[in-house]
Amino acid sequence: MGSKEFRSDIVWFNSFIITVLCVFAIILLHFEALDIFFTFGVFGIFLLVAVLAYMFGLQRGLLISIGVTFFYGSYLIYAVMIGKTMMTVDPLYVAWLFLIPLISVLAAKLGESIASNSALAKDIEAIEELVTLDGATGFYNNQGFFKKLDEEFWRAKRYNEVFTLLLLQIANFDEIQMAYGNVGAGRILIAVAKNIDQQMRGTDIKGVLVDNTLGILMPGTDAAGADTVVEKMHLFLTVVAVDFEDGQKNIKVKPSIGAAAFKESDIDVIEVYERAKTELTYDRG
């Protein structure tokens, strides 16, 4: 409850309380037997206690309600026994002595429950995000990348937008593995991924599909824009600096790149992927 993050549920709860107060004011106009202003004022304090308890939690809410109840009870005693402003005490006036602490408990529990559920939902989302990430590169793994690709496909389909899928394969990956082993090849792949991350836009989505193939999803990029990106990638990926145990080395890489832009006639994301895969076979790096 001590979080300083913006909580939208507090706005909704306060809006609900204001609505209830307005409705109560309208209903109260039809009860001439009651002291309208006094009853409305007490009800307003009742709702204020609910708001404060919802925002600040059970402990503070109870302290506030105890303080309010004490002053309200003291006023009733004064009005009846000393001031003589009340000849009789309406049962509703007495009921507030119990309703105010009760609403503070209920509102606080409601606030804690909603905050707890919101925190749990964020934790689950963070865990799901971690599950779909590749630990070595920080890119999405195969599952996470295709999920993002599918989301972008249907967004482009719905809003008539464009995107391009790039598939990047290290054509000489087998040679690299023979020369540097699996561990060295992994470091080279990480270096390639780092170069891509530095050169591409922050909005581009990157993924590791298999050991030697990366995927790059470029929202808002058409075929012409993709051609420019492909040319640029061939330049900055030809040689990559890789950190080995015995120092940094410049490694020659042969990137093969296949690009496929989204078409309105595409039925599903597999069509885009297959076109990019076909283009990949023509580019030998």
Per-residue pLDDT at 92: 77
Higher local confidence (pLDDT), 241 or 21: 241
pLDDT digits (tens, 9 = 90+) for 253-271: 888 999 999 999 999 999 9
Instruction: Please check the confidence at residue 73 and state whether its pLDDT lies above 90.
Output: no
Per-residue pLDDT at 1: 42
pLDDT digits (tens, 9 = 90+) for 83-132: 766 666 677 788 888 888 898 888 888 888 887 777 666 665 655 555 67
Domain 142-282 is of which CATH architecture?
2-Layer Sandwich (3.30)
Nearest to 242 by CA among 176, 189, 177: 189
Higher local confidence (pLDDT), 175 or 10: 175
Count how many Cα atoms sit within 13 Å of the Cα of residue 58 in the half-sphere of its side chain: 8
Burial class (CB in 10 A: 0-12, 13-18, 19+), 159: exposed
Higher local confidence (pLDDT), 37 or 219: 219
pLDDT digits (tens, 9 = 90+) for 28-46: 777 665 677 888 888 888 8
Instruction: Please check the confidence at residue 220 and state whether its pLDDT lies above 90.
Output: yes
Per-residue pLDDT at 25: 78
Instruction: Please check the confidence at residue 217 and state whether its pLDDT lies above 90.
Output: yes
Q: What mean pLDDT value characterizes the chain?
A: 84
Domain ranges of the chain: 8-130, 142-282
Structure tokens at 52: 């404060």
Instruction: Please check the confidence at residue 52 and state whether its pLDDT lies above 50.
Output: yes
| 141 φ, ψ (degrees, to nearest 5) | -85, -175
Per-residue pLDDT at 3: 45
CA dist 164 and 145 (Å) reads: 14
Is residue 26 within 8 Å of residue 76, measured between CB atoms? no
Is residue 162 within 8 Å of residue 262, measured between CB atoms? yes
Q: Give the model's confidence band at 2: pLDDT under 50 very low, under 70 low, under 90 confident, else very high.
A: very low
The percent of residues above 90 in pLDDT, for the chain, comes to 23
Of 170-174, 212-216, 266-270, 281-285, the least confident? 281-285
For residues 134-162, average pLDDT = 89
Q: In terms of DSSP bridges, do strands 247-252 and 255-261 run parallel, antiparallel, or are they unpaired?
A: unpaired
CA dist 73 and 80 (Å) reads: 11
Instruction: Please check the confidence at residue 66 and state whether its pLDDT lies above 60.
Output: yes
For residues 169-182, average pLDDT = 88
CA dist 89 and 79 (Å) reads: 9
Is residue 243 within 8 Å of residue 237, measured between CB atoms? no
CA distances from 137 to 77, 166, 187 (A): 72, 17, 10
Residue 283, SS3?
A: coil
Per-residue pLDDT at 275: 92
Higher local confidence (pLDDT), 130 or 226: 226
DSSP character at residue 175: H
Q: Give the model's confidence band at 210: pLDDT under 50 very low, under 70 low, under 90 confident, else very high.
A: confident
